Structure 1
Amino acid sequence: MKRRELRARAVQAVYQMDVGQVLASDAVNHVLDGADAELGDGQRDFVKGLVEGVAVNTEMLDDMIAKNVTGWRLDRIAKVDLAVLRLALYELMFEPETDVATIMDEAVELAKEYSTEESGRFINGALAKLLPAVEVRRAEEE
């Protein structure tokens, strides 16, 4: 399974955690149910790591989104878009081995695929506003 599909599954799990109030482990199991034959080495762990990372850091991620995406309250952002934003922001913050451009491109494409064409533009703009804060946080962590 390609990374794009793995990220799509992670977004679905993050969405389930938010909307269905389910645990990260249950959401991962649900979105990967029946996919074991398609999963290569470490791919289940990749999805699980992303989803659990978002779950553990949701408060911090939401705080960063609220402070940097001006004009949008979290409760006004579509749930799918919020799931995409949380996942992309988590990757930007905690997965430094993944290229920033790759994370942003994947997030935009996921938003277009699972939400609306306008969502792609929104996600791109929101992540662009978040990048300076991400760079500050990354520098503080080093």
Structure 2
Amino acid sequence: MSRRKARELAMHLVYQLSLKNAVGQEIVENYYEAREIPVENECEFDTLKLSDNDLQYITSTVMLIEENIKEIDSYIEKYSRGWKVARIGRVELAIMRIAIFEMLNREDVPNASAINEAIELSKIYCEDKSRAFINGVLGNIQREIEA
């Protein structure tokens, strides 16, 4: 699996964090358990071959985002110009949380790449105006981090 697909899958799981009263560990475990059960109408993620690196990336991303959610969300609120996290779409929020997590914690992912990957995900899952919003927020965060 490519890092892009692993990131996309992680985004789906981070999205679930905002919808359920479950903790990250449960969400990750439930996903891995569900993959082992044959499903009549499989989604594309059910048939992906996950390497150990993919599993580690997905698991650590979900778990560490959950652990650092207040810090990550404070960046979002700071640069979303009057929008509280509760008002932001859950998909957009999940995409930004992953990008911010990568910018703050993943030395193997350049900040510009984290933003680019967030924009690529938003092209699949969001409207055009959301893409501009995500790009603006993440660009401001990148400038702060790199200052």
Q: TM-score range by the shorter chain?
A: 0.7 to 0.9
User: Which residue is equivalent to 2:41?
Assistant: none
Local SS of the residue matching 1:42: helix
Partners of 1:77 and 1:37 in 2: how far apart?
30
User: Which residue is equivalent to 1:18?
Assistant: 18
The size of the alignment, in residue pairs, is 136
User: Which residue is equivalent to 2:8?
Assistant: 8
**1:80 lines up with 2:88 in the alignment:** no
**Greater Rg, structure 1 or structure 2?**
2
**1:53 lines up with 2:50 in the alignment:** no
Partners of 1:6 and 1:124 in 2: how far apart?
21
Partners of 1:43 and 1:110 in 2: how far apart?
17
Deviation at 1:37, TM superposition (A): 6.3
TM score, norm. by length of structure 1: 0.86
User: Which residue is equivalent to 1:94?
Assistant: 105
RMSD: 1.8
Q: Which moved more, 1:69-78 or 1:41-50?
A: 69-78
Partners of 1:44 and 1:36 in 2: how far apart?
14
Deviation at 1:36, TM superposition (A): 8.0
TM score, norm. by length of structure 2: 0.83
User: Which residue is equivalent to 1:135?
Assistant: 146
Deviation at 1:68, TM superposition (A): 2.3
Partners of 1:19 and 1:75 in 2: how far apart?
12
Local SS of the residue matching 2:96: helix
Q: Which moved more, 1:13-22 or 1:24-33?
A: 24-33
1:69–1:129: 8 Å Cα contact kept in structure 2?
Answer: no
Deviation at 1:117, TM superposition (A): 2.5
Cα gap change, 1:11/1:37 in structure 2, threshold over 3 Å: closer, same or farther? closer
Q: Which moved more, 1:65-74 or 1:53-62?
A: 65-74
Partners of 1:81 and 1:123 in 2: how far apart?
7
Deviation at 1:112, TM superposition (A): 2.0
Q: Which moved more, 1:96-105 or 1:77-86?
A: 96-105
Local SS of the residue matching 1:104: helix
What one-letter code is carried by the residue in structure 1 that aligns with 2:13? Answer: A
The percent identity for this pair of structures is 29
Partners of 2:88 and 2:131 in 1: how far apart?
13
